[in-house]
Amino acid sequence: MNLKPSFQPGRDLPPEVFRQAVAQADMAISITDPQATILYVNEAFSRVTGYSAAEAQGRNESILSNHTTPREVYADMWQALASGHSWSGRLLNRRKDGSQYLAELAITPVLDGEGRIAHYLGMHRDISELHRLVSQVRNQKALIESVVDGAPVALALLDETGRVVLDNQEYKKLLTDLGVAEPAHLLLETALPGWRSQLLGRAAGALPPRELRIDRPGGALPRWFSCSALPIATLDEQADGFYETEPKHYLLLVASDVSALRQGQEKARLAALRSLMAEEEHAAALRESLSAALYRLEGPLNVMSSAIAMLKSREPAMSSALESALGEGRQHLEELRRLIPHDTQEAPAPVNINEVLRDVLDVCTGRLLANGITVTWQPTPTLPAILGRPM
């Protein structure tokens, strides 16, 4: 019975394989003695540093130092190495031509048979471009966050579940001003009732700017917002999403507070409403007065009509005179009837009950209080419009 020996990497692989693996590695590799004198470098080391093997061997690793790395970094490095531990970190190095680069470095002590440090194995790579890109992303992120927080509009980013994952200072103010747990939900439900199903179904569409009125309880003035929503798709940042093509879907809500503008418009509209109501009351009083006068004048004319019928056979001349006077009288009555203001029928239009009720309170509060009447009103923030005649 023949037994095959177990595989032992150190014995079964020729030393030449290890030497070639180090020589051909794409990472810069150097081997030094305990005093950091370079004994060996591979081709990648020469490509990164500009020093050939002949130029680097016999010189100290300090030839790569730019002398700007903080001393604390070197102190921490040598403390770890002297204790027999590996060290990794970043150093600002200098190439042979004097150009600088940021090196990501890992150094491992190599022990001899008695456990003493015989050599150091160093591996490093140039991460200058990576550092530039990371710093650029961080700077852009900081600038974007500053712009977003300083924006005079409320911004809220909602994920596929409807959760607000990003907002700014103006949006945070709405939490107190509107007195709701999530202002974005209130605004979206008013502007786009099906937003939840659209977002969950990943079919959210852009919402063009739309003005919304939000009524607040306790007699507070309503708020007006110009709102728009924009769908956003992003790539998965996690490692397991590297090969996934399905993006993540978000909805960006932008709400601009236009209350100051609308309140000025509302004051003008309310003044016009009061004027219109005063004209309507005046016209109604005039209609009532003229109708009453016409009713009273109709009585004598009816008596004259009866008298004419009786006098036609007895006093034809008098009957004819009375009939002429009766005709003139009825003509004048018709002219008077035409002067009665018409009761114009208001055309139906979409009506916000909250707005109508607030108009009633604004117009009638003085008379209500004069009669000892107080009104407590807790309006729903938003209501669907109904068809009606607001006046």
Residue 9's pLDDT is: 52
Is 96 part of a structural domain of the chain?
yes
The count of domains in the chain is: 4
179 and 192 co-located in one domain: yes
- Percent pLDDT > 70 in the chain is 92
Other beta carbons within 10 Å of 87: 19
73: domain CATH number is: 3.30.450.20
Over residues 314-329, the mean pLDDT reads: 76
* 78/296: higher pLDDT: 78
Residue span of the structural domain in which 65 resides: 10-131
363 and 335 co-located in one domain: no
Judged by average pLDDT, the poorest of 21-25, 361-365, 380-384 is: 380-384
155 and 113 co-located in one domain: no
Residue 201's pLDDT is: 55
Specify the 3-state DSSP secondary structure of 221: coil
**Residue 2 predicted with pLDDT over 50:** no
pLDDT in tens, 142-198: 888 888 888 889 999 988 888 898 899 999 988 888 888 899 998 888 877 777 776
113 and 166 co-located in one domain: no
Residue 8's pLDDT is: 55
Residues forming a β-bridge with 87: 107
Question: Is the entire prediction scored with pTM above 0.85?
Answer: no
The last residue of one of the domains, among 131, 161, 180, is 131
The last residue of one of the domains, among 98, 131, 164, is 131
Give the orientation angle of helix 169-178 with respect to helix 183-191, to 10 degrees. Answer: 80
Over residues 133-142, the mean pLDDT reads: 90
27 and 123 co-located in one domain: yes
- Residue 265 backbone phi and psi in degrees, to 5: -65, -35
Residues forming a β-bridge with 154: 255
**Nearest Cα to 208, choosing from 229, 193, 190, 192?**
229
**Confidence band of 3 (pLDDT split at 50, 70, 90):** very low
The last residue of one of the domains, among 131, 162, 190, is 131
Max Cα–Cα distance, the chain, nearest Å: 161
Residue 28's pLDDT is: 94
